[in-house]
Structure 1
Amino acid sequence: MKVALTGAGGFLGWHVRVLVRALGWPEPIRLTRADLADPAAVAAALHGSDRLLHLAGVNRGDPADVAAGNVEVAAALARGLRRCAAPPPTVGFANSVQAGNGTPYGDSKAAAAATLASAVTGRFEDVLLPNLYGEHGRPFYNSVVATFCRLLADGQLPEIHQDRDLELVHALDAAARLLGVPEGGAWDPTMPALRIGVRALAERLGAAASAYRSGELPPLLGRHDVRLFNTYRSHCFPGHYPVPLTRHADHRGELVETVRSYGGGGQTFVSTSRPGVTRGEHFHLAKVERFVVLRGRAEIALRRVGDAEVVRFTVSGDEPVLVDMPTMWAHRITNIGDGELLTLFWANELFDPARPDTYPERVGGISTAEPETANLPAGSRPTASAVVGG
């Protein structure tokens, strides 16, 4: 499906782009502010696309600027739509549950929806979104979840000035709803919500952060447990890693505790890799995955989907450490030693070949090793497009 986006660089826009990548669709067409100033440029960009998602908007600042900004952006997009000879048959708008609530923001979102709908010749989907949370949200801007996670990752405690009830939806579920895709395990377009108070949210995230400081895993018993934890981990990366593990040795040999979990599912497997062999070259949307090298030397490389910078860790079985893979980051592990590499892998869920939550994506960089997948579970093996390369 050919998708066009406004607000592609924002929090929700990034999650939409990641889901599009996981689905194997073409990279979305991005409509920038400069494009929106030119109706002809908008018309040309939208020509022949299958779905337009309007995600851009103004939700912070002077009330008058917020009110005017949301309507002006929608009006600019509407002008381009009217000039498009082959407009997208479906247009989705990332609206708010606050639409029409009498505030400058809420009323401007309602007006923006009406403005955009007036230019749509096909199907118009007005999606009312509650509070969104998810990986790499902007603290003190996108959501209270991002703010609490950032504070906890920095070793601070959130302050609760007013306790109120929240309805939280993960941004990937909102992306699925806007893209019109069916439920896929890692995403759910019905947008299942977590209803929780601000104080209870702070306590929940605080307990997870407290357990995780030493590498222990908090209870991951439900959908939102996992996604809140992944959101917190996104604010820990990369500075929190690698986490050193304690080695216990006596005359019999050595013992290293690699996974300490307070509850939830899990699967562990161990692989050996010959010198130069690379594993991985994929990303996950929800799965928590841990790497621990027990023998040999390796480089673990990661890149956030959509970004160019590669983060690298050099690890050794002589000094065992854990590195947890953040969700929505492509990752790989390469044997850079002269001998055999022995690696323990742990995931928070049993591998399901029907829903592997594993999407091929090259990390990039200077490695020239080919992926070795013989010891990975069936269905998780990268396709030919996932070969390591620059």
Structure 2
Amino acid sequence: MIAGRTPRRVVITGADGFIGRNLALRLAELGDVVLPLTRSSTSVAWHAAVAEADAVVHLAGANRPADPADFDAVNAGTATLLVTALEAANCAVPVLYASSTRASGDDHYGRSKRAGENALLDYGKRSGNPVYVLRLPNVFGKWARPNYNSAVATFCYNIARDLPITVNDPAAPLRLVYIDDVVTTLIAVLDDRPAAGFTEVAPIYTTTVGAVAETIRGFRADRADNFIDAVGAGLTRALYATYVAALQPADFSYEIASHRDPRGAFSEMLKTRSAGQFSYFTALPGVTRGGHYHHSKTEKFLIVHGKARFGFRHVLTGETHEILVEGETPTIVETVPGWAHDVTNIGDGVMISLLWANEIFDRTRPDTIAAKV
């Protein structure tokens, strides 16, 4: 909860759905009180919750009902029920409605979503209360139901379990919006109260079904090879978070190879295709590791446990340099092309070091030339 902030009472219809659960969590983090309504909630419960509300977020909807009549009963019917409850309460509160980009179409689903929009927008005109309509494309992210909410959820669920996926047309266009961006927009509207009407959610990612499927397949394959994609920004970041959220608890951890010899152990933790790789190694007391130089490769060492002496010698001039570090004072030691270097455990126990190299080790071109310091 944010200090000095007055908690809001926010009604969320469809609170147990994909968007609802994500929004409820974020609102709780802010200290707001969520008044949840679900399909099991009675009309009396809707009226009671709305009467207490400072704001209403209408998320209840049907995407793939067994009976097409449920499109009207849920998508249009719940909007009508909400309007009835709002008018009965005679309350001045903002109303946010998560509609769909398909509301502009003429299929049964689109017509039912558009009917829900019209019911709420008409209520806004009559009452003067601000009504916001978000026409969302395919929403994806954590807690989306496979085989229901989106193809992304299905791909993530199946690929994480080594199950097959079906891609009928890899070139089929796909417009996506990430759940965190949807929730951020909803909260921003609640906070800032912009002009009522249709409200945009950004960013919207334009891609294809095949590209999304291949990206998620890549996450699965990369994990087995200790690789990681460029998962720090944009669509790939969002897809990776969605894929990891689909993992079973038994897959939360996985072993990596450990190469052991009398000096200690060495393991490659993570490899990237454009920013090198991360490893760690251990050294027993008195052990020296290294004793080589590089022409282009650079490395960063971080001793996280124990004491170490790094030695350097310029391979042409013979100039030497020494650095003493210990785990209690985190210090990055960087190797420099053209300088031979080694590291010695000068402590009484096992030394542990993290290591980043700016390139993945290539046995055919190792750029590692043996040379004493």
Task: Tell me which residue corresponds to 1:382.
Answer: none
User: 1:123-272 alignment to 2 at 5 Å?
Assistant: 123-163=130-170, 164-180=172-188, 190-220=201-231, 222-263=233-274
Does the 8 Å CA contact 1:117/1:124 hold for their aligned counterparts?
A: yes
Deviation at 1:85, TM superposition (A): 4.0
Structure 1 residues 77 and 264: CA distance shift in structure 2, 3 A: farther
Name the amino acid aligned to 1:207: G
Name the amino acid aligned to 2:35: I
Structure 1 residues 262 and 110: CA distance shift in structure 2, 3 A: same
Structure 1: stretches of 5+ with no match in the other structure: 184-188, 270-293, 296-341, 347-390
Match of 1:31 among 12, 26, 37: 37
In structure 1, distance between residues paired with 2:175 and 2:150: 11
- Residues 88-124 of structure 1 deviation map (CA, whole Å, 9 limit, x = unaligned): 2x10000001113111110110111111233343100
Task: Tell me which residue corresponds to 2:117.
Answer: 113
In structure 2, distance between residues paired with 1:343 and 1:236: 30
In structure 2, distance between residues paired with 1:252 and 1:268: 16
Task: Tell me which residue corresponds to 1:14.
Answer: 21
Q: CA RMSD in A?
A: 3.1
In structure 2, distance between residues paired with 1:32 and 1:268: 49
Deviation at 1:16, TM superposition (A): 0.8
Match of 1:99 among 64, 88, 103: 103
Match of 2:78 among 69, 73, 80: 73
Deviation at 1:84, TM superposition (A): 0.9
- Residues 226-274 of structure 1 deviation map (CA, whole Å, 9 limit, x = unaligned): 11011111111312132112222212112233333335799999xxxxx
Deviation at 1:212, TM superposition (A): 1.6
Name the amino acid aligned to 2:245: S
Does the 8 Å CA contact 2:157/2:246 hold for their aligned counterparts?
A: yes
Structure 1 residues 265 and 81: CA distance shift in structure 2, 3 A: farther
Structure 1 residues 97 and 190: CA distance shift in structure 2, 3 A: closer
- Residues 133-175 of structure 1 deviation map (CA, whole Å, 9 limit, x = unaligned): 1012111100000111111111134221134100110011111
Tell me the SS of whatever aligns to 1:226: helix
Q: Which of the two has greater helix per residue?
A: 2
TM-score (norm 2): 0.64
Identity of aligned residues (%): 29
Structure 2: stretches of 5+ with no match in the other structure: 1-7, 193-199, 281-303, 306-351, 357-373
Task: Tell me which residue corresponds to 1:42.
Answer: 46
Structure whose CA Rg is larger: 2
In structure 2, distance between residues paired with 1:119 and 1:132: 27
Does the 8 Å CA contact 1:75/1:115 hold for their aligned counterparts?
A: yes
Name the amino acid aligned to 1:255: F
- Residues 310-358 of structure 1 deviation map (CA, whole Å, 9 limit, x = unaligned): xxxxxxxxxxxxxxxxxxxxxxxxxxxxxxxx998x9xxxxxxxxxxxx
Tell me the SS of whatever aligns to 1:180: helix
TM-score (norm 1): 0.62
Does the 8 Å CA contact 1:130/1:169 hold for their aligned counterparts?
A: yes
Tell me the SS of whatever aligns to 1:172: helix
Aligned residues: 267
Task: Tell me which residue corresponds to 1:59.
Answer: 63
In structure 2, distance between residues paired with 1:42 and 1:265: 56
In structure 2, distance between residues paired with 1:37 and 1:268: 59
In structure 1, distance between residues paired with 2:43 and 2:353: 53
Tell me the SS of whatever aligns to 2:102: coil
Does the 8 Å CA contact 1:3/1:49 hold for their aligned counterparts?
A: yes
In structure 2, distance between residues paired with 1:106 and 1:267: 49
Tell me the SS of whatever aligns to 1:53: strand
